[in-house]
Amino acid sequence: MSSQRYIKLKNLEQFLSLENLDYSEIELQLNNSLLDYSSSEQFALKLKNFSQLTKLALRMALYQLKTDIGSILGEGLSEISNLQNLDLNLEPCIDADQNIFGLINLLTYCIKLNSLKIQLKGNQLQHCSLQNITQRIQKCKDLTDLSLNLSECWIDDDGVQILSSVLTEFQHLTNINLNLSCNFIGVKGVIELGKHLSSVKNIQKFQLSMNYNHFKNAGISNLIEQLTQCRNIQFLDLQLEKNKLTGQYFSDFSSQFGKFVNLQILILSFVQNDIQDEELIQFGKNLKRMKILKHFSMNLEGNNLSWEGLNKFIQNILKIKMLVEYLITYYY
């Protein structure tokens, strides 16, 4: 039972002083610790002793990850034979592009993972950094779960193409969580993302946040149509807040949802778009064709809707045969 223990540590000194080595889960904050060559070697040597460790969460700042330090940490991680889950939370850094190579070298050694979570929110990443990150992620061939938080990273259409191309490399990937909010993604980027996602045939759970981007109406219908080719999707969460979705485009792409043959949970957020009653009612008519949908949630705050329109939409939702739970959020 001791091998299932979890511990959370606030700094490197606490980690190095551990005497019990049978933890299976460790959460470690390194953002306030000095990571020079010597301390990094000590950290790597200590890691090698945790033979029962299966899950490791590291919080640090990119400025700590110079190329040589990232390599040392990565070599330490490679010695943990049972490590299956790695969560990297890297705080924003002014010189992110110059220091990203430490992270890249760290990932190079983590080839046995089945779950990888990387949070780079707020770091301004150029195309070369995105390319290097994806190349290293590709080495984790056995991944089943991949989560990337790249919000506020100044990613454009070409950046999305670089990122999305990595998704086709994994045969076992079943869970994808992408946060691309607050970037500069347009129609081209959305279409490229959809094209690559359609090749991930085993995906069962997909979460995508693209709030506050620049694609407006065009591209979304294509993205959802491409996703319908992933026949195993059971859970779909799309966050599309403040993208100026309007009119006929909104009701058109809603017709694609009926093509998801195994979808049971659908979560949608259209906060602060330009959706009106007529399109919303048609949306409901399209959704009622979904045969096995059980849980439905939709956030419509900040749109131009009336109570009458919302009520007609809800009446259509209630006609979904297998529906057991729904939540519609809207404030007047």
DSSP string computed for 274-314: B-BHHHHHHHHHHHTT-SS--EEEEE-TTSB--HHHHHHHH
pLDDT, average across residues 75-79: 83
The CA distance from 111 to 107, in Å, is 8
User: Does the pLDDT of residue 332 top 80, yes or no?
Assistant: no
Work out the burial of residue 62: count CB atoms within 10 Å of its CB; fewer than 13 is exposed, 13-18 middle, 19 or more buried.
buried
pLDDT, average across residues 255-281: 92
Q: Which residues of 237-261 are buried (b: 16+ CB within 10 A; e: fewer)?
A: bbbbbbbebbeebbbbbbbbbbebe
> What DSSP assignment string belongs to 222-267?
HHHHHHTT-TT--EEEEE-TTS--BHHHHHHHHGGGGG-TT--EEE
pLDDT of residue 4: 63
pLDDT, average across residues 120-148: 91
> Could you tell me if 290 and 259 are in contact, meaning their C-beta atoms sit under 8 angstroms apart?
no
Alpha-carbon distances of 31 from 27, 62, 221, rounded to whole Å:
12, 9, 41
pLDDT, average across residues 79-105: 82
Q: Read off the pLDDT of residues 235-260 as tens digits, 9 standing for 90 and up.
A: 999 999 988 787 667 777 888 898 99
Share of the chain above pLDDT 70, in %: 97
pLDDT, average across residues 21-47: 89
The CA distance from 106 to 110, in Å, is 7
pLDDT, average across residues 10-14: 93
User: Does the pLDDT of residue 3 top 60, yes or no?
Assistant: no
pLDDT, average across residues 269-285: 92
Closest CA to 318 of 307, 55, 293, 300: 293
User: Does the pLDDT of residue 1 top 50, yes or no?
Assistant: no
Q: Please state the separation of Cα 275 from the chain's center in Å.
A: 26
Task: Supply the mean pLDDT for the chain.
Answer: 90
Out of 160-169, 205-214, 244-253, 292-301, pick the least confident.
Answer: 244-253
Amino acid identity for residue 19 in this structure? E
pLDDT, average across residues 164-170: 89
pLDDT of residue 66: 78
110: tokens are 């983590």
User: Does the pLDDT of residue 115 top 70, yes or no?
Assistant: yes
Neighbour count for residue 171 (Cβ, 10 Å): 12
User: Does the pLDDT of residue 184 top 80, yes or no?
Assistant: yes
The CA distance from 60 to 12, in Å, is 11
> Could you tell me if 225 and 254 are in contact, meaning their C-beta atoms sit under 8 angstroms apart?
no
Alpha-carbon distances of 184 from 3, 31, 233, rounded to whole Å:
45, 29, 27
User: Does the pLDDT of residue 2 top 70, yes or no?
Assistant: no
Structural domains in the chain, CATH included, are 1-143 (3.80.10.10), 152-332 (3.80.10.10)
User: Does the pLDDT of residue 135 top 50, yes or no?
Assistant: yes
> Could you tell me if 140 and 113 are in contact, meaning their C-beta atoms sit under 8 angstroms apart?
yes
